[in-house]
Amino acid sequence: MRGLKTKQSKSNKENHVFVCINCGKTNGELYREILKDVIKLSHCEYCSKVVDKYVEFDPVIILLDALLFKEAAYRHVIYNARVKFHWKLCIMYLLCDAYMKWAHSQTEVQHSPKRFLHFALRWDFYAMFLMAAIELMMFLFSLMGSVSCRLWMRNEKMQKKDYICLHKALLLSCFGKLLVIPAVIWGQVDSLACLWMTRLFMLMSCTQSVRVILKSGFPVALMLVLLGFCVEALVATTSPLLLPIIIAGG
């Protein structure tokens, strides 16, 4: 709590705008420091509830609430937590996605450490990594483009910081790709059920993030995310045509 409090105190001094996790309205502070180690949580000016109860929560509890798709937890992570490691998570996503694609492309894989290291050094794994990066980039661009079109049709505008928050939220919402790690441990990496479970989890997580950013209903957010997944699927279907060219070039 002490490390989190120091971080939030610095943010308060920099006049950062926070968001109430209950109603989504902006507030000037999360808490007030009464004494050296005593703080008082601030209440929202609109709903009169605590602005962000997760300030005092353990990160594990916050993660569990995010896994349960609680809107309050998403608001805390996107707006109030000041997460800056989303780019590192992006690299992890690409590695997991590349390994998943590589595992499905290998029909005669022997699951041993030496076999894995042997194939990991081959050009096809790096080609899979490149394809995963292209698919993720197209997913983000198409989804952000569809959001912009919807706002344009409604004569609404988003500020630059809102697009940055949306981009960060979508990257954080892709943490369902990390499910490949327990799948490798359980030896189910080549299972289609694991692949579909990962996609479904990402669909719900991204939809919840779009809902929080746009303050829209579930059907609208789901439609926008599905459009992004359709573009990603279209790119994925053309990837096998480009993969031999990339491997031959390597």
pLDDT of residue 121: 52
pLDDT of residue 6: 36
Count, residues in the chain: 250
Flag whether the pTM goes above 0.85: no
Parts of the chain with a pLDDT under 70: 1-16, 104-123, 184-185, 187-192, 239-250
pLDDT of residue 191: 64
Residue 94 CB neighbour total at 10 angstroms = 20
pLDDT of residue 109: 46
Cα 138 → chain centroid: 15
pLDDT of residue 54: 92
Cα angle vertex 44, ends 39, 47, to 5°? Answer: 140
pLDDT of residue 239: 66
Pair 170, 140: CB distance under 8 Å: yes
pLDDT of residue 12: 45
